[in-house]
Structure 1
């Protein structure tokens, strides 16, 4: 097993089509591409598949603990797979990136993201790989607090969201196939 790929989100239909659940959407896309089925395990939905051109299998995980407790799902999965944190890849929404931009990062600040904070606390390190998916911020005149906006339906149309999810899934696949440095050099220069 080479990687544990974790998509952050919240369970429940009310959160499905929201910017905060883009991590779930990317993992669903990867599962579809790899024909991976999920089972209930590690307080989440878990499946093992193969990404074309990659060495070994990839475990996909959607924690069902709610965002703020994601680490409770990630830690036991990582330990069962006998992986180091450097082999954990977390996909999450990023309001500090414009909509449509995708960036790969290792470690660094958490930008107030409670899902990342939970994982960092449970793993006792920030040194895991992140695919930051740019969801932007509320548009001009939108007075909703960020926490309300991020849990509301996308402002963008379904086709734009699909392109964003596809870009993030491609970034994950590149990390798994070619390694973090190669992927960062290709993906991060696009934005």
Structure 2
């Protein structure tokens, strides 16, 4: 059984951002909490919305940092330190420009890929050794268009691809929690393969 004790979803707070691609991590943790009969509630001491899912041997905290993306690490570090959660017991879900919409991939450690939320988490935790779930949002094709792209709303067909992927990613996280990373990765991989048929 995996030792993930904290699931984090990255995004920007506020209704003007709620439907933007940059909030894919928010969508995931909201859906994951719902699938377990929970809802994220504001918790001012951690600067975010949180819930705790306990089922059998599972004891998982879920966090949505409610400061802006480039300050996400503050909430993550505060909660992790408070509950003595190690970086390798954390899974962070976020939007990924380098993957097309409809694809999600797990990754452990490594660089930040230029993602401001991940950069801040690495800086605040003092470690890169946390797990990541990268949710593809596609790339606009030109560096100068990236900001408008991530803070823009996806067209309906793209949004549907992301929604379907997030549903499967939530199932993968369940597999990760019940079994291991390999089972979770295989589930996402077989979902992608089926979709490409």
Q: Flag whether TM exceeds 0.5 (same fold).
A: yes
Comparing 167-176 and 72-81, the one that deviates more: 167-176
CA distance in 2, matches of 1:172, 1:185: 11
CA distance in 1, matches of 2:51, 2:178: 18
- Offset of 1:136 from its aligned partner? 0.7
Spell out the pairing of 1:1-191 with structure 2 (5 A cutoff). Answer: 2-41=4-43, 42-50=46-54, 55-138=57-140, 145-157=145-157, 158-188=159-189, 191=192
- Offset of 1:48 from its aligned partner? 0.6
Moved over 6 A (4+): none
Q: 1:68 to 1:80 in 2, by over 3 A?
A: same
Instruction: Return the structure number with greater helix share.
Output: 2
Verify the 8 A CA contact 2:4 2:91 in the aligned structure 1: no
- Offset of 1:55 from its aligned partner? 2.6
- Offset of 1:50 from its aligned partner? 3.8
Q: Deviations over 1:130-164 (max 9, x none)?
A: 0011111127xx99711111101112435333212
What is the DSSP-based 3-state SS (H/G/I as helix, E as strand, rest coil) of the residue aligned with 2:134?
strand
- Offset of 1:37 from its aligned partner? 2.8
What is the DSSP-based 3-state SS (H/G/I as helix, E as strand, rest coil) of the residue aligned with 1:97?
coil
What is the DSSP-based 3-state SS (H/G/I as helix, E as strand, rest coil) of the residue aligned with 1:171?
helix
- Offset of 1:39 from its aligned partner? 2.6
- Offset of 1:180 from its aligned partner? 2.2
CA distance in 2, matches of 1:169, 1:68: 24
Verify the 8 A CA contact 1:6 1:91 in the aligned structure 2: yes
* Paired positions, count: 187
Gaps of 5+ in 2: 193-197
